[in-house]
Chains A and B, each alone.
Chain A
Amino acid sequence: MYSEKVMDHFTNPRNVGEIVNPDGVGEVGNAKCGDIMRIYLDVEGDIIKDVKFKTFGCGAAVATSSMVTEMVKGKTLDEAMVISNAAVAEALGGLPPEKMHCSNLAADALHAAIVNYREKQEKKE
C-alpha cells in the first residue's frame, strides 16, 4: 500500500516534537476527518533554522509531515512557501490515490506556520 520511503518516514519520523516559544505555528485538518498536523518554526533572518511537527493521523499523514520538515530545514521562507502538497507526496515516492486528498496536508500546515510567523512580524513593526 505504502512505498518504502513512506514507511521509513512513518517508522523513523524526522523532526517530531515541538519548539518552545516558536516563531510561527501552523495547524491544519481536524479530528473529525482523522488528520491534524501542527508545524512549529524557528526563523532566523529569512531562513527556517529549525522546524518540528506533531501529527494525529494515518501513516501518510505522519510521513508527509516528516518529509516536509526535512525538505524545508535551512530553506528561505519564500522557498518554503512554494513547496506544494503534491511535491511532498512526490518526494515520498507517491501516495496511494485515496490518501492524496485526506492525508496530504503537510505543506498546508507549513504554509500556515509561515503565514503565522509573518503576521507576528507585522505586528511587531
Chain B
Amino acid sequence: MRRVYLDHSATTPVDPEVAALMMTYYTEKYGNPSSVHSFGREAKQALEEARKQVAELIGATPPEVTFTSGGTEADNLAILGAAEALRKKGKHLITSAIEHHAVLETCEYLAKNGFDLTVVPVNEEGILSVEDIRQAIRPDTILISVMHANNEVGSILPIAEIGKLAKEHGITFHVDAVQSLGKLPIDVNAMNVDLLTVSSHKIYGPKGVGALYVRKGVRVVPLVHGGGQEKKRRSGTENTPGIIGFGKACQIAGQRMAEDARHQTKLRDKLMHGILQRIDHVKVNGPIGAKRLPNNVNVSIEFVEGESLLLSLDMLGIAASSGSACTSGSLDPSHVLLAMGLVHEIAHGSLRFSLGRQNTEEEIDYVLEQLPKIAERLRMMSPLYDQAIHTQQAQ
C-alpha cells in the first residue's frame, strides 16, 4: 500500500548519512568518552565535534551545550534546575498556555511545591503578547519559559522581544526550541536566551538525544547525579552514537535550512489552500503566513471528529495527527486549541499535517484527492452536520 508520512512534528526518519555515521560509533569506535585510552579518546573527540555542531546551529559556544536524553529531559533540567538554583532569589515562574507538556507539567509540579506560577494566555492565532508577560513580572520572578514555535499549530512566538524584557528585569529566560530547530534561525545571543531546549529526532537525528543550552554564568542544579559527565550537569555515560548523530543532523539542518523552508512552505500552502478550496466548513488553526512554521498545517474539519479522520487517512496510508481528546487518552481536546479559544467540537475535529524534507507535491495531491471524500463520508454519518445544514437552510 502507498504510504505518505505527514507527521514530522511527531518524529522524523533518521538521515541515512547520520545513521551511517552513528553505526561506526556502535561497532568500531565504541569507547567510553571518559576513558584515557585511544578508544576513549576517539569517542571523546567525536563527542566534542558534535557539541560544536549543535552549538553552531544555535549561535552558542560548545561548552554551553549539555547533552540529555531528549527534549523532555532538557526542559526538566532547565526549569527544575534553574528554579532550584534561584530558589533563594524568588519563587515566581511565568510560562505560556500553549507550552509542550514537558514544560507545563514541570512548571505545575513546581507550583505544587512552593513556587508561584503565572500562565500567560494566547490569542486566537496561538501567539502571546509580550505586554502580558511584562505585566505578569513580579519582583520575585525568577524564570520565564516560552516556546519558540508551537508543535500543534505552528505559531512562532516573539522570543527576541521576550528575551529583551527578561534581560532588562534580570530574569532567567528558557526557550523550548524543539519545533523550531533547523526550521527557523536561532541565535541565543541575539535573542537573549539563557536556556534553550533542542531535540534530535525532530531534525532527522536519532531518538533519545537532546541538549540544553546553558548560557555561561547561568546555573542549573543537576537532576541526575553520578560520575559527573557533561561538566556535572548530567551524569551518566554519554550516548555517544546518538549524540554524534545529533551533531551531524544539526550540521545538515544548518546547511539545508533555507532550502527546506522554501520547499516545505510551498507544500504547506498548497495543502492548506487545497483543503480550504475542496472542503467547506473548514477552519485554519494558527496563524497564516510568516508567523507560522514552514512545515505545519492545522485545520479543523467541522462536524467530524479527529480520530475518525486519522483512522480513515491511515487506511489510505496517510499519517497525520489530531488534537482530539480521543487521540490523547483524556476527555479533553488539545490544551493548545482550547487556549486559542476554540470550542470543544471544533477542537475535536482538528487535523495536523507536518511536512518534511522528503514530501512531494504529488503526495500533497494524493491527500487533497482523498481527504474531501473522507470528510464527506464522516459528515454523512454526523448528526452535527445535518443540524448545521438545516439551520443554514432555515436562515
B344:A58 contact, CB within 8 angstroms: no
A56:B305 contact, CB within 8 angstroms: yes
- B304 sits at the interface (CB 8 A): yes
A58:B381 contact, CB within 8 angstroms: no
- B348 sits at the interface (CB 8 A): yes
- A94 sits at the interface (CB 8 A): no
The answer to whether residues A34 and B325 also contact, given A56-B304, A59-B307, A61-B305 and a CB cut-off of 8 A, is yes
B329:A98 contact, CB within 8 angstroms: yes
The answer to whether residues A33 and B325 also contact, given A56-B304, A57-B305, A59-B308 and a CB cut-off of 8 A, is yes
B305:A16 contact, CB within 8 angstroms: no
Contacts of B305 in A (CB 8 A): 34-35, 56-58, 61
Interface of A, helix, strand, loop or mixed by DSSP: mixed
Name, among B306, B329, B333, B381, the residue most crowded by chain A CB atoms within 10 Å (CB to CB).
B381
Residue of B at shortest CB range from A101?
B331
The complex places the Cα of A10 from the Cα of B322 at a distance, in Å, of: 18
- A62 sits at the interface (CB 8 A): yes
- A64 sits at the interface (CB 8 A): no
Contacts of A34 in B (CB 8 A): 305, 324-326, 331, 333, 344-345, 348
A10 CB to nearest B CB, Å: 6
B325:A59 contact, CB within 8 angstroms: no
Contacts of B324 in A (CB 8 A): 34, 58
**With A34-B345, A56-B305, A98-B329 given, can you name 10 additional A-B contacts, CB distance below 8 Å?**
A2-B311, A16-B381, A32-B345, A54-B382, A54-B383, A56-B304, A56-B381, A57-B326, A58-B305, A103-B326
Give the total of A residues in contact with B, Cβ under 8 Å. Answer: 29
Pick the contact of A57: B308, B329, B333, B386 (CB < 8 A): B308
Binary per-residue interface labels of chain A (61-87) against chain B in the complex, 1 for a CB within 8 Å, 0 otherwise: 110000000000000000000000000
Within residues 297 to 332 of chain B, which ones have a CB less than 8 A from any CB in chain A? 303-308, 311, 315, 324-326, 329, 331
- B276 sits at the interface (CB 8 A): no
A-B contact pairs, 6 of them (CB 8 A): A34-B325, A34-B344, A34-B345, A36-B383, A55-B382, A55-B383
- A20 sits at the interface (CB 8 A): no
B344:A56 contact, CB within 8 angstroms: no
- B258 sits at the interface (CB 8 A): no
- B218 sits at the interface (CB 8 A): no
B233 CB to nearest A CB, Å: 38
The answer to whether residues A16 and B326 also contact, given A34-B305, A59-B311 and a CB cut-off of 8 A, is no
The complex places the Cα of A56 from the Cα of B379 at a distance, in Å, of: 8
Contacts of B311 in A (CB 8 A): 2, 7, 10, 58-59
B149 CB to nearest A CB, Å: 27
Residue of B at shortest CB range from A103?
B326
- A13 sits at the interface (CB 8 A): yes
Contacts of B329 in A (CB 8 A): 98
Contacts of B307 in A (CB 8 A): 58-59
Contacts of A38 in B (CB 8 A): 383
A-B residue pair count with CB separations less than 8 angstroms = 73
Name, among B307, B325, B384, the residue most crowded by chain A CB atoms within 10 Å (CB to CB).
B307
B325:A54 contact, CB within 8 angstroms: no
Contacts of A32 in B (CB 8 A): 344-345
- B380 sits at the interface (CB 8 A): yes
The answer to whether residues A31 and B326 also contact, given A11-B315, A16-B381, A54-B381 and a CB cut-off of 8 A, is no
A14 CB to nearest B CB, Å: 12
Contacts of A103 in B (CB 8 A): 326
Contacts of A102 in B (CB 8 A): 325-326, 331
Contacts of A36 in B (CB 8 A): 383-384
Contacts of B386 in A (CB 8 A): 18, 54
Contacts of A10 in B (CB 8 A): 308, 311
Residue of A at shortest CB range from B327?
A58
Contacts of A62 in B (CB 8 A): 308, 381
B381:A55 contact, CB within 8 angstroms: yes
The complex places the Cα of A53 from the Cα of B60 at a distance, in Å, of: 60
Within residues 128 to 182 of chain B, which ones have a CB less than 8 A from any CB in chain A? none
The complex places the Cα of A54 from the Cα of B379 at a distance, in Å, of: 9
- A27 sits at the interface (CB 8 A): yes
Contacts of B303 in A (CB 8 A): 56
A106 CB to nearest B CB, Å: 13
The complex places the Cα of A61 from the Cα of B308 at a distance, in Å, of: 9
A37 CB to nearest B CB, Å: 8
Contacts of A99 in B (CB 8 A): 326
Pick the contact of B382: A11, A56, A59, A60 (CB < 8 A): A56
